[in-house]
């Protein structure tokens, strides 16, 4: 009886030894399939739409701290020519990743610009000094952009404060300044700030006025293709390739 029992136990062990590797492989395959489903669901595969809008040859992106890690070489290989990096806001915020982004964008041979966010509650000289202290001379080759929202230029005093900030930064760096804003703010500033050009935020490229040096035509334009595709605020340079090359 013991012999029969032992024999049955041995047969059971042999069957288990044969079955377990099959189960293990099935679990591995199921795991791989599940991982692939999660990956493709979490990261949509966009089709490539990196080319600049008709009538424009130069385009670039605006980047801030919420953009996360940006592959600048991927941008450069997908018809992106410049990157504007948000650097400071008023006198209380600076982007900790600015220097890293600045270095990597330059290594990818992109022209770089920097963005200061205007805060009407802070003194213009203090905002300019804060920007200078945080960024130093690492402002890139493009005009310095001052981002302005409608509520920050609601009064005549705030418009004058913005004009003072622009003048201070321009004098310190000997660099042109552009106002990064929407058309309604551009109209508000028309009588106060007359010589400064704009980076206009639109959803099209219809307004080709020479006062608009850049035009942001999309908040989420798709750059690249497949798993490397990324959606970013994208702008065009409102000028010729030669004019863009001459910006230093």
Q: What is the CATH number of the domain that holds 99?
A: 3.20.20.80
| pLDDT value for 37 | 52
Asked if residue 14 and residue 88 are part of one domain, the reply reads: no
**Do 103 and 190 have their domain in common?**
yes
pLDDT at 229 over 50: yes
Residues 153 and 216 in one domain: yes
Per-residue burial over 36-66, b = 16 or more CB atoms within 10 Å of its CB, e = otherwise: eeeeeeeeeebeeebebeeebebbbbbbbee
* pLDDT-based confidence at residue 52 (cuts at 50, 70, 90): confident
Would you say residue 140 lies in a domain?
Answer: yes
104 in the same domain as 35:
no
Question: Rg of the chain's alpha carbons, rounded to an integer?
Answer: 27
**Cα–Cα distance, 130 to 92 (Å, whole number):** 8
Do 65 and 143 lie in one domain? The reply is yes
69 and 29 together in one domain: no
Task: State yes or no: pLDDT of 28 exceeds 70.
Answer: no
Is the pTM here over 0.85, yes or no?
no
172 and 88: one domain? yes
The tally of domains found in the chain comes to 2
Residues 181 and 130 both lie in one domain: yes
Confidence of residue 43 (pLDDT cuts 50, 70, 90): very low
33 vs 163, higher pLDDT: 163
Which of 21-35, 109-123, 190-204, 217-231 is predicted with the least confidence, judged by mean pLDDT? 21-35
Residue 65: predicted pLDDT: 78
Is the per-residue pLDDT at 41 higher than 60?
no
CA atoms within 13 A on the CB side of 18: 6
Domain that holds residue 5: 1-42
Instruction: Give the confidence band of 19 by pLDDT, cuts at 50, 70, 90.
Output: low
State the pLDDT at residue 68: 80
Residue 49 within a domain: no
Mean pLDDT of 102-130: 97
Structural domain includes residue 223: yes
**Tokens 């340079």 label which residue?**
237
Mean pLDDT of 50-78: 89
- On whether the CB atoms of residues 160 and 119 are closer than 8 A, the answer is no
Q: Which residues of 8-27 are buried (b: 16+ CB within 10 A; e: fewer)?
A: eeeeeeeeeeeeeeeeeeee
Question: Residue 95 and residue 139: Cα distance in Å, rounded?
Answer: 14
pLDDT in tens, 141-171: 999 999 999 999 999 999 999 999 999 999 9
Percentage of residues of the chain with pLDDT beyond 90: 71
């Amino acid at each position: 009886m013991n012999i029969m029992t032992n024999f049955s136990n041995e047969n059971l062990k042999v069957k288990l030894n044969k079955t377990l590797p099959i189960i293990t492989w099935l679990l591995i395959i199921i795991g791989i399939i599940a991982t692939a489903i999660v990956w493709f669901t979490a990261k949509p595969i966009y089709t490539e739409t990196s080319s600049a809008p008709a009538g424009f040859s130069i385009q670039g992106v605006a980047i801030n701290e919420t953009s996360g890690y940006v592959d600048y070489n991927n941008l450069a290989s997908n018809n992106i020519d410049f990157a504007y990096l948000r650097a400071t806001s008023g006198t209380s915020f600076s982007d900790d990743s600015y220097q890293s982004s600045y270095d990597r964008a330059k290594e990818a041979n992109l022209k770089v610009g920097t963005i200061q966010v205007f805060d009407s509650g802070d003194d213009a000289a203090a905002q300019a000094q804060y920007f200078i202290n945080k960024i130093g001379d690492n402002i890139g080759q493009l005009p310095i952009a001052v981002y302005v929202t409608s509520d920050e230029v609601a009064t005549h005093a705030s418009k004058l404060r913005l004009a003072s900030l622009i003048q201070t930064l321009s004098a310190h760096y000997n660099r042109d300044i552009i106002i990064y804003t929407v058309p309604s703010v551009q109209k508000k500033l028309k009588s106060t700030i007359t010589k400064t050009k704009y980076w206009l935020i639109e959803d099209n490229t219809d307004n080709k006025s020479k006062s608009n040096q850049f035009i942001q035509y999309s908040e989420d334009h798709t750059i690249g293709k497949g798993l490397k595709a990324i959606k970013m605020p994208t702008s065009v340079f409102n000028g010729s390739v030669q004019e863009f090359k001459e910006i230093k």
